[in-house]
């Protein structure tokens, strides 16, 4: 379980309650430069979000509500029309679709992204082997990314986001395609990371096990609302009903791969 009251990053309790990510009044509208093409869509309308060190926050919302747009703005992959985002520390981003180089092997992928993060060869090998063992893809290190199954590709996608031990982790549907064992390993990992002080935001259509989160915010009509204490089951909202009774059939998780 996340242990927000017991977070200590590298043995330093001074991080308690420290805001590591703050989004203020983020606004985004999709438009086209070309006339008569597409339409204007207001996706975000003054969205506010703060995440503290060691906190794990779920961001939920309906399809098309703008969750992935929000995450791309938080990570810097997309510019907001208005508002600001500030991050204190390094960021790890796991996009919804694995953004990797198809024709590189897993080993080469770690080398490339590790080099991008400024890690030396030993650090890259150490991180690669750690996550390969944790998420069970050691046997695929010499496979090309485009020869991997969807679930294994997602493991690499997630590991690339984690390998440099970031202060803030932004994960967009990170466990899609995971088998049950990997799903459980993922949550053990998040627990370990939050105990070290890593702040984690996870986007999902559903929050299948809401007790794993410190807070849950819902994106609707372009704004974020804290719904942690709301009875979403009664309202039929995200994280409701059967989804809250998590098991091997949790959304996006495969009973077997």
Partner 1 sequence: MTESGRAGRVRVGVDAAVRSFLREPVQVAVLLVLPLIVIEGYGYAMTAFPELPFMTESAETMGRLNGAIYAVAFLTGVLGLFQIISAQLADERLQLCGYSRGELFVTRLATVVAASVLVAAVSLAVLAWNVTVEAPLLAFGALAAAALVYGLIGMLVGAILPRALEGSLVLVFLVDADDFLSSGMVDIDTAAVELFPLYHPHNLFQSAVDGSLAGGRALATGAYLMVLLSVVGVVYVRLTGNGGVFGE
- Asked whether position 125 contacts partner 1 by CB under 8 A, the answer is no
For 135, counting Cβ atoms within 10 Å of its Cβ (0-12 exposed, 13-18 middle, 19+ buried), the class is buried
Binding marks (x or -) toward partner 1, 195..234, rule CB under 8 A?
A: ----------------------------------------
Which of 111, 180, 209, 257 is close enough to bind partner 1 by CB under 8 A? 111
Q: Tell me if 149 sits within 8 A of 159, measured CB to CB.
A: no
Which of 14, 17, 25, 99 is close enough to bind partner 1 by CB under 8 A? 99
The token pair at 194 is 């939050």
Helices (H) and strands (E) in the chain, counts: 7, 11
Q: Which helix (H) or strand (E) holds 123?
A: helix 121-134
Binding marks (x or -) toward partner 1, 27..66, rule CB under 8 A?
A: ------xx--------------------------------
Closest approach of partner 1 to the CB of residue 232, in Å = 32
Nearest CB to partner 1, comparing residues 99 and 242: 99
Which of 93, 140, 183, 213 is close enough to bind partner 1 by CB under 8 A? 93
Site for partner 1 in 154-183 (CB under 8 A): 160
For 19, counting Cβ atoms within 10 Å of its Cβ (0-12 exposed, 13-18 middle, 19+ buried), the class is middle
Q: Which helix (H) or strand (E) holds 242?
A: helix 241-244
Q: Tell me if 235 sits within 8 A of 228, measured CB to CB.
A: no
Q: Which helix (H) or strand (E) holds 202?
A: strand 199-204
- Asked whether position 113 contacts partner 1 by CB under 8 A, the answer is yes
For 88, counting Cβ atoms within 10 Å of its Cβ (0-12 exposed, 13-18 middle, 19+ buried), the class is middle
Nearest CB to partner 1, comparing residues 98 and 151: 98
- Asked whether position 75 contacts partner 1 by CB under 8 A, the answer is yes
The token pair at 60 is 């939920």
Closest approach of partner 1 to the CB of residue 131, in Å = 15
Which of 1, 46, 86, 103 is close enough to bind partner 1 by CB under 8 A? 103
Closest approach of partner 1 to the CB of residue 239, in Å = 29
For residue 196, the SS3 value is helix
Nearest CB to partner 1, comparing residues 77 and 141: 77
Which residues of the shown chain bind partner 1 in the complex (CB under 8 A)? 33-34, 75-77, 91, 93, 95, 97, 99-104, 108, 111-113, 115-118, 144, 160
């Amino acid at each position: 379980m996340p242990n927000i009251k017991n977070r200590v990053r590298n043995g330093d309790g001074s991080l308690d309650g420290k805001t590591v990510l703050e989004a203020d009044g983020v606004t985004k509208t999709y438009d086209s430069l070309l006339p008569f093409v597409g339409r204007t869509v207001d996706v975000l309308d003054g969205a506010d979000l703060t995440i503290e060190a060691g906190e794990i926050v779920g961001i939920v919302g309906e399809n098309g509500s703008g969750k992935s747009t929000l995450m791309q703005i938080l990570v810097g992959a997309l510019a907001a029309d208005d508002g600001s985002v500030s991050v204190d520390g390094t960021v790890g981003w796991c996009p919804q679709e694995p953004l990797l180089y198809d024709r590189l092997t897993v080993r080469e992928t770690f080398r490339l992204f590790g080099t991008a993060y400024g890690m030396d060869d030993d650090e890259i090998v150490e991180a690669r082997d750690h996550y390969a063992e944790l998420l069970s893809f050691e046997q695929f290190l010499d496979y090309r990314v485009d020869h991997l199954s969807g679930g294994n590709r997602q493991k690499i996608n997630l590991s690339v986001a984690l390998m440099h031990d970031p202060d803030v982790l932004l994960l967009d549907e990170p466990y899609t395609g995971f088998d049950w064992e990997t799903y459980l390993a993922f949550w053990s990992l998040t627990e370990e990371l939050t105990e070290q002080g890593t702040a984690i935001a996870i986007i999902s259509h559903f929050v299948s096990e809401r007790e794993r989160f410190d807070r849950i915010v819902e994106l609707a009509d372009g704004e974020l609302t804290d719904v942690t204490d709301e009875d979403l089951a009664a309202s039929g909202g995200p994280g409701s009903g059967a989804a809250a009774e998590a098991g091997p059939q949790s959304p996006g998780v495969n009973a077997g791969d």
